[in-house]
Amino acid sequence: MLVAVLLYMVHRWATNKKAVDPKTVVEAAFAVLVIALLDQGETEPVARGFAWLFLAAAAYTAIPVIGKAAGTTKG
């Protein structure tokens, strides 16, 4: 989850948006809290699935933008 949150922050920075604002902090805290609450007992596989989904979504969104900002891709 930490990697997903960091990717999201880097994505916002690469698109010239404020990387950390109150809305982003609340969204990240809520997502981490939900995963932490599910990450116990029988619901642990669900929490791991959500964590992987968050990471995949963050990577899908951030990596192309980061590459473009770094000048390694066209677009």
Segment 19-60, tens digit of pLDDT? 788 887 888 888 888 888 877 788 888 888 888 888 888 888
Residue pair 47/31 in contact (Cβ under 8 Å)? The answer is: no
The 3-state DSSP class for residue 48 equals helix
d(Cα 59, Cα 40) in Å, to the nearest integer? Answer: 26
The pTM (predicted TM-score) of the whole model is 0.61
Tokens 């933008």 label which residue? 65
- Amino acid type, 30: F
Residue pair 59/7 in contact (Cβ under 8 Å)? The answer is: yes
What ranges do the domains of the chain cover?
Answer: 2-70
Mean pLDDT of 4-29: 83
Under the banding of pLDDT at 50, 70 and 90, the label for residue 75 is low
Task: Reply yes or no on whether the pLDDT at 73 is more than 70.
Answer: no
Check residues 75 and 23 and name the one with the higher pLDDT: 23
Per-residue pLDDT at 74 = 63
